[in-house]
Structures are given as C-alpha cells and as structure tokens.
Amino acid sequence: MVEVANAPAIRVTGLVKNYGEVHALAGLDLEVRRGEVFGLLGPNGAGKTTTVKVLLGLLRADGGRAEVLGLDVASAATEVRRGVGYVPQEITSDPYLSGRENLRFFARLYHLPDPRARSEEVLRQVGLEDAADRLAKTYSGGMRKRLDLGVGLLHDPELHILDEPSLGLDVEARVRVWTHVEELRKRGRTVLLCTNYMDEADRLCDRVAILDRGRGVACDTPSALKDGLGGDVVTLVASERDGAPPPDWAKLLGGLPLVRSVLADGLRATVAVEAGDRALPKVLEATVAASVPIASVSLLRPSLDAVFLRHTGRRLAEGAAAPAPAAGGRRG
C-alpha cells in the first residue's frame, strides 16, 4: 500500500459540508494519531456521521481537506477504504444472508486470501459461531451489531471507524462493544469512535474532540478536558479515635503538589486538586505516612458533560450517560 507510514492516521483541515441550508460541517479541524483511540463526541446532528462519510470518500466535502493514513481522500478513496474498517451507525448487514454468508461476502470483496477461514475466525471473535447459519434478520439487535463489528474486522485494517457502535444496545451488549474497542487498542490499531455517550468517550478514549454544529470546540485527553474546568475534589473522612484530636488537615495536605486548597471540617477534609487521578495517591500517601486512619475517600471529577456545557453553553444530551435504548437518540 502506498500510504505514508509516519503521517497521522487522520488529518482533517477546515472541512466544510453543507446540505442545502444545513451547515453540517463548518470548518472542522482534527488530527488522530496512529495507535490512539480517538473519540468524536457530540450531540445529535453535530456532524459526526458526516465527518465519517467524508473520510471514507462517501461524501464529497464542499471545502477543506481530509487525509486518511497519509492519503488524500479526494484522490485516493479506494486505497483509503482498503486501510479502514468501517462500522456504520445503522445496522447494515444483509438480512437475507446468514451471519457466515455476510462475512464471506465482505471477505471476498476485500480480496482476502482465504475468505472462508477468515470468516470463521471473525465469527469466533465476535461470538456468533452458534448463530452463524441463521439469517441475519433473525438476530437480535446486539447480535447484528456484533456482525457489523465483525465485518469491520475482516481485513484487519490499521484504522477502525466506529460510528456510535453502542447506540441502542442494552448494558451487556454495550460492554461487549467496549471490550471490542479495548482489544483493538491492545493490538495497536487506531480507532475513531463517534459517540454521544460521554461515559463511553471517557472510559475508552485516549483523546476526545468535542463536536458541536460542525465545529470542534475542544480537543484533548478526557482528564485534561475536565481539569480545564478547575480541577477535581477529593473528600477524606478520618475514622474517629477516642480522645485523639481530628487530624491537622491543612498541615498534612496543604503543601502537597497538585493540591490547591484544603478545607478542614473536623474529621472531614475537602481538598481541591488538579488532575485528581494523579493527586489522589499523593493525598493518600501523606495521610498514611501520618498514620491517620481513613474511614472514606471519594474523588469527584467534573464530567465531559460539564466540559460540553462550558464550551457550548448547552447540555450534551439529556440522560446521554445512561445506557438507555435509542429512544430519540437516532436521527430520522
């Protein structure tokens, strides 16, 4: 393949796409590094699917430039498609073929050396061996999604684009999708994950771009995005010891790196920190070193929802964090 090995997996500059009056993409910039799981987080209609379609050469942009694996999508769409595994937002496997036939069909279209053997491997990988000979139309929603995930795995591409892979799935099926993404990460693949669930972006992604009305409003690691809001809060409660005075929280924790302020209230300390994930161990070490027995600890981090609120003045989506079925989540 003629792809450029050290180019970023995806580079998008000033991408514009209009559907008549609707400005689906209004100058989007994006860079996805090789080997990272990159989240495209945005509410319904933000332009996630439009971005994906431009990246695969399924839609022509009205302006700007999109490069995938170092290739210009506008001029080398076929090579780009060879290097990308795509799992669309809607379920797309052929309902009138069995799971096995679906996989073999796509394996042949990717010109794999042994389509049959590869299809069997993928059937095992997505856990559909037992249902392999049933027509896809008899599958449950979760099973069909797994079949689509399997189609995206067939040619074991370097870049995987998953468009809202857990939309409308129940909790168990969502967890399966998450495991799927984790496995891709372990194998060193690059993943572009579109989602409007912030818990999903938070737990899976190395970096997240927040998309709103066709523009990127923020892009960083989930923790950096949340730190940008003014940090996290660690709350400590010491166990009561007969006769002993409450710990001197200010002296104990005040000087630690990453700690911004300490509010002592008897046995309870409310500690404002930067980067809670790194600060928490330091705080605990200090309390243990001073032999203060701890009754409870909690770390409160602002959510990506709060990040979205900060950048756009709106909520991401009511209840989007819940693994609720697609009710209202899907556009027309």
Partner 1 sequence: MTAAPPTPSVAFRRETLAQLARWFHHLRREPFNVVFTLTQPILWMLFFSSLMQEAKLPGMAPGTPYRDFMTAGVLTFTVYGNAMSGGIPLLFDRENGFLTRLLATPIARSSIVAGRFLYIEAVALAQTLLILGLAALLGVSVRTGVLGVLGIVLFGALLGLGLTALSLALAMWVRHHGTFFMLLGTLGLPLLFCSTALAPVDAMPTWMRWVALANPMSFCVDAMRPLVLGGGSFGRYVLSAAGLLAFDAVAVWVSVRVLKGKLA
Ligand X SMILES: Nc1ncnc2c1ncn2[C@@H]1O[C@H](COP(=O)(O)OP(=O)(O)OP(=O)(O)O)[C@@H](O)[C@H]1O
Q: In the complex with ligand X, which residue's Cβ is closer, 106 or 197? A: 197
Which of ligand X, partner 1, Mg ion, none does residue 44 bind (CB under 5 to 8 Å by kind)?
ligand X
Q: Is residue 166 within the footprint of Mg ion (CB under 5 A)?
A: no
Kindly report the backbone phi and psi dihedral angles of residue 180, in degrees, each rounded to the nearest multiple of 5, phi listed first.
-55, -50
Q: In the complex with Mg ion, which residue's Cβ is closer, 49 or 102? A: 49
Per the listing, tokens 């989506």 go with: 317
Q: Is residue 90 within the footprint of ligand X (CB under 6 A)?
A: no
Q: In the complex with partner 1, which residue's Cβ is closer, 163 or 202? A: 163
DSSP alpha helix (H) spans, the chain: 48-55, 77-82, 99-109, 115-125, 141-153, 171-186, 198-204, 222-227, 249-253, 276-289, 304-312
Q: Is residue 45 within the footprint of ligand X (CB under 6 A)?
A: yes
**HEC profile for 110-174?**
CCCCCHHHHHHHHHHHCCCHHHCCCEHHHCCHHHHHHHHHHHHHCCCCCEEEEECCCCCCCHHHH
Q: Is residue 42 within the footprint of ligand X (CB under 6 A)?
A: yes
- For the bound state, the minimum distance from the C-beta of residue 42 to Mg ion, rounded and expressed in Å, comes to 9
Q: Which stretch binds ligand X (CB under 6 A): 6-14, 46-54, 150-158, 176-184?
A: 46-54
In this structure, the number of other CB atoms found within 10 A of the CB of residue 268 comes to 15
Q: Is residue 165 within the footprint of ligand X (CB under 6 A)?
A: no
Say how far apart CA 116 and CA 151 lie, in whole Å: 13
Which of partner 1, ligand X, Mg ion, none does residue 22 bind (CB under 5 to 8 Å by kind)?
ligand X
Q: Is residue 89 within the footprint of Mg ion (CB under 5 A)?
A: yes
Q: Among residues 77, 81, 152, which one has the least CA distance to residue 122? A: 152
Which of ligand X, Mg ion, partner 1, none does residue 96 bind (CB under 5 to 8 Å by kind)?
partner 1
- For the bound state, the minimum distance from the C-beta of residue 328 to Mg ion, rounded and expressed in Å, comes to 14
In this structure, the number of other CB atoms found within 10 A of the CB of residue 295 comes to 11
303 in Cβ contact with 226 (< 8 Å): yes
- Contacts with partner 1 by CB under 8 A lie at 1, 53, 56-60, 78-79, 81-84, 86, 88, 90-97, 101, 105-106, 108-113, 118, 135, 148, 151, 154-157
Assigned token pair, 245: 């005075």
- For the bound state, the minimum distance from the C-beta of residue 161 to partner 1, rounded and expressed in Å, comes to 9
Dihedral over alpha carbons 9, 15, 18, 24 (to 10 degrees): 60
Q: Which stretch binds ligand X (CB under 6 A): 37-45, 67-75, 140-148, 280-288?
A: 37-45
Q: Is residue 49 within the footprint of Mg ion (CB under 5 A)?
A: yes
Q: Is residue 312 within the footprint of ligand X (CB under 6 A)?
A: no
Q: In the complex with partner 1, which residue's Cβ is closer, 263 or 326? A: 326
Beta pairing partners, 207: 38
* Contacting residues toward ligand X, per CB under 6 A: 19, 22, 24, 42, 44-50, 89, 164, 196, 331
* Contacting residues toward Mg ion, per CB under 5 A: 48-49, 89
